[in-house]
Amino acid sequence: KQEVTQIPAALSVPEGENLVLNCSFTDSAIYNLQWFRQDPGKGLTSLLLIQSSQREQTSGRLNASLDKSSGRSTLYIAASQPGDSATYLCAVNYAGGGNKLTFGTGTQLKVEL
Amino acid sequence: DVKVTQSSRYLVKRTGEKVFLECVQDMDHENMFWYRQDPGLGLRLIYFSYDVKMKEKGDIPEGYSVSREKKERFSLILESASTNQTSMYLCASSTMLGVLAGGIRADTQYFGPGTRLTVL
């Protein structure tokens, strides 16, 4: 079964700290992997999309890496701020699954002053 | 900017009622999706559509149907609402990047704000 796992489920860090969120997937045959952010009671906002041929993507303080052979992706957040507090979701577009995304259950991040 | 709108932010219905959830996107995207999100279970795909009048079942289609009569609009229908359909419903859209061996590649999915449905 094609699954996506995110650990830890929750994380609390002091402001200014660099942090890494982890995502693992069970099948290396993927089209792409996306990281989303979700604020409480809101929809999802796309942060980064990594195509299967890429190793990483960067946007501002965010950097996402992809290692298909090990079935892992990381989202690195530099110099965290209280405004980064949200749930971060990883989603994989598995090959042969059409347009379907398989989501992890997310990591709830809290950045404290 | 891509805009995906959903007809209601909050909805309360009675068991047995027929419920319509509407989703509209303004970027001429080919693909549209309906998910539900529940604590501890994450987002699960209900149905998706890659063209007008086309639909495909996702992982949990039971108890739901969909309609896509126009490219910009994708409707989710609960024929007879039940309490276990109380959830957050999220709509998304995306465009095609191309067709490769083994399937279709799509760009990032853009999500609407969600509809929190409560069935009493």
pLDDT at B101 over 60: no
CA B2, CA A112: separation in Å to the nearest integer? 32
Q: How far is A25 from chain B (nearest CA, A)?
A: 15
Query: What percent of chain B has pLDDT above 70?
Result: 90
Q: How far is B44 from chain A (nearest CA, A)?
A: 7
Cβ A43–B94 below 8 Å, yes or no?
A: no
* pLDDT confidence tier of residue B98, bands split at 50, 70 and 90: low
Tell me the HSE value of A24 on the side-chain side, using a 13 A CA sphere: 5
Among B31, B110, B112, the residue with its CB nearest the CB of A46 is B110
* pLDDT confidence tier of residue B105, bands split at 50, 70 and 90: low
Q: Which residues of chain A have pLDDT under 50?
A: none
Among A32, A44, A46, the residue with its CB nearest the CB of B90 is A44
CA A25, CA A89: separation in Å to the nearest integer? 13
Tell me the HSE value of B14 on the side-chain side, using a 13 A CA sphere: 2
Residues 6+ apart with CB under 8 A from A75: A20, A21, A23, A35, A47, A48, A62, A63, A64, A88, A90
pLDDT at B97: 67
Q: Is residue A2 within 8 angstroms of chain B, CB to CB?
A: no
Cβ B45–A100 below 8 Å, yes or no?
A: yes
Q: What is the pLDDT of residues B39-71, one digit of tens each?
A: 888 899 999 998 999 999 999 999 999 999 999
